[in-house]
Structure 1
Amino acid sequence: MILGLFTLSVLYPLIFVISASLSSAEAINRGDVILWPVGFTLDAYQTVVDSPQLMLGFANSLLYTFGGALIGTALTLMAGYALSRKDLPFNRTITFFFLVPTLFAAGIIPTYLVVRELGLLDTRWAVILPGVMSVFNLIITRTFYRMNVPDELLEAARLDGASDLQFFRKVALPLSTAIIAVNLLFYGLAQWNGWFNAFLYLQDSDLYPLQLVLREILAQSVVNPADIGGGDIAEMMRRKELFDKLKYALIVVAMVPPLIAYPFVQKHFVRGALIGSIK
Structure 2
Amino acid sequence: MKVKRSRGERAFSAFNYIFLSLIIILCLYPVWYVAAASFSNSNLLTQHTGLLLKPVGWSIDAYKKVFKNPMIGRGYLNTLFILVVGVSLDLVMTSLGAYFLSRKRVILKRPIMMLIVFTMFFSGGMIPFYLNLKDLRLTNSLWGLIMPFMISTYNLIILRTSFESIPESLIEAAQIDGAGHITILTRIVIPLSKAILAVMVLYYGVSIWNSWFWASSIIRTREMYPLQVILREILMQNDVASMTAGSSAMDTEAIGMTIKYATIIVATVPILCVYPFLQKHFTKGTMVGAVKE
Same fold (TM over 0.5): yes
Q: Deviations over 1:93-147 (max 9, x none)?
A: 1111211111212221111111111100100011222322111101100000111
| TM-score, normalization by structure 2 | 0.87
The alpha carbon displacement at 1:237 in A equals: 3.8
Residue 26 of structure 1 is matched in structure 2 by 43
Q: CA RMSD in A?
A: 1.8
Choose from 179, 183, 186 the match for 1:169. Answer: 186
Residue 208 of structure 1 is matched in structure 2 by 225
Residue 199 of structure 1 is matched in structure 2 by 216
Residue 227 of structure 1 is matched in structure 2 by none
Residue 65 of structure 2 is matched in structure 1 by 47
The answer on whether the counterparts of 2:233 and 2:239 sit within 8 Å (CA) in structure 1 is no
- Which is further off, 160-169 or 183-192? 160-169
The answer on whether the counterparts of 2:155 and 2:200 sit within 8 Å (CA) in structure 1 is yes
The alpha carbon displacement at 1:236 in A equals: 4.1
1:251 counterpart letter in structure 2: I
Residue 260 of structure 1 is matched in structure 2 by 273
The alpha carbon displacement at 1:278 in A equals: 4.8
The alpha carbon displacement at 1:30 in A equals: 2.1
CA distance in 2, matches of 1:237, 1:94: 62
The answer on whether the counterparts of 2:215 and 2:225 sit within 8 Å (CA) in structure 1 is yes
The answer on whether the counterparts of 2:43 and 2:251 sit within 8 Å (CA) in structure 1 is no
Residue 137 of structure 1 is matched in structure 2 by 155
> Which 4+ stretches in 1 moved above 3 angstroms?
234-238, 276-279
1:41 counterpart letter in structure 2: S
The question of 1:183 aligning with 2:200 is answered yes
Give secondary structure in 1 for the equivalent of 2:138. coil
The structure number with the bigger radius of gyration is 2
Distance 1:267 1:155, change over 3 A: same
1:1-279 paired onto structure 2 within 5 Å: 1-32=18-49, 34-147=52-165, 149-221=166-238, 235-278=248-291
Distance 1:182 1:204, change over 3 A: same
Residue 13 of structure 2 is matched in structure 1 by none
CA distance in 1, matches of 2:289, 2:47: 50
CA distance in 1, matches of 2:206, 2:197: 14
CA distance in 2, matches of 1:96, 1:5: 44
Distance 1:174 1:30, change over 3 A: same
- The sequence identity of aligned pairs, in percent, is 38
- Structure 2: runs of 5 or more not aligned: 1-17, 241-246
Give secondary structure in 2 for the equivalent of 1:133. coil
1:250 counterpart letter in structure 2: T
Give secondary structure in 2 for the equivalent of 1:275. coil
Give secondary structure in 2 for the equivalent of 1:96. helix
Distance 1:66 1:241, change over 3 A: same
- Which is further off, 128-137 or 115-124? 128-137
- Structure 1: runs of 5 or more not aligned: 224-233
